[in-house]
Amino acid sequence: MADTHAATVHGGPGPRLRWIIVGGACVFGIIVVAGTLTRLHDRHRLHGENVAALIPAVTVVHPGGHAVDTLVLPAILQAWYSAPVYARTSGYLRQWYVDIGQKVTAGQLLAEIDTPDVDLQLAGARAALGTRTAQRDLARITSRRWDRLNALNAVSQQETDERRGNLAASEATRHESAADVERLETLSGFKRIIAPFAGVVTSRATDIGALIVAGTAASQPLFTVSDVTRLRLYVRVPQAYAARMHDGFAARFTVPDYGTRPFDARLIHSADAVDSQSGTMLVQLVYDNAANLLKPGAYAQVTFRFDGPGPQAPPAVRIPASSLLFRREGTGVALVDGSDHVRIRPISIVTDFGTELEVTGLSAQDRVITNPPDDIGDGDTVHPHEAGHGA
pLDDT of residue 30: 81
Residue 360 to residue 357: CA distance in whole angstroms:
10
Residue 235 to residue 284: CA distance in whole angstroms:
6
For 128-151, what is each residue's pLDDT tens digit? 999 999 999 999 999 999 999 988
10 Å CB burial of residue 7 (0-12, 13-18, 19+) is exposed
Distances (CA, A) of 377 to 54, 205, 359, 371, 372: 14, 68, 21, 14, 10
State the fold for domain 57-68+314-386.
2.40.420
Residue 389 to residue 372: CA distance in whole angstroms:
17
Considering just the CA atoms, what is the radius of gyration of the chain in Å?
A: 49
Residue 337 to residue 272: CA distance in whole angstroms:
43
Q: How far is CA 270 from the centre of its chain?
A: 14
Task: List the chain residues with pLDDT less than 50.
Answer: 1-9, 11, 389-391
How many degrees, rounded to 5, is the angle at CA 230 between CA 227 and CA 231?
95
Residue 130 · residue 181 · CB < 8 Å:
no
Residue 270 to residue 139: CA distance in whole angstroms:
65
For 238-250, what is each residue's pLDDT tens digit? 887 888 888 899 9
Please give the model's pTM, rounded to 2 decimal places. Answer: 0.56
65: number of Cβ within 10 Å: 12
Looking at residue 314, what DSSP letter applies?
Answer: P
10 Å CB burial of residue 322 (0-12, 13-18, 19+) is middle
- The four Cα atoms 109, 114, 118, 119 give a dihedral, to 10 degrees, of 100
Residue 267 to residue 97: CA distance in whole angstroms:
38
Residue 299 to residue 256: CA distance in whole angstroms:
7
Residue 314 to residue 304: CA distance in whole angstroms:
20
Residue 329 to residue 145: CA distance in whole angstroms:
101
For 116-190, CATH number?
Answer: 1.10.287
pLDDT of residue 124: 95
Reported for 123-128, long-range contacts at CB under 8 A and 24+ positions apart, including other chains, are 125/177, 125/180, 125/181, 125/184, 126/181, 128/177, 128/180
Residue type, 121: Q
Residue 196 to residue 198: CA distance in whole angstroms:
7
pLDDT of residue 307: 65
How many degrees, rounded to 5, is the angle at CA 333 between CA 241 and CA 328?
100
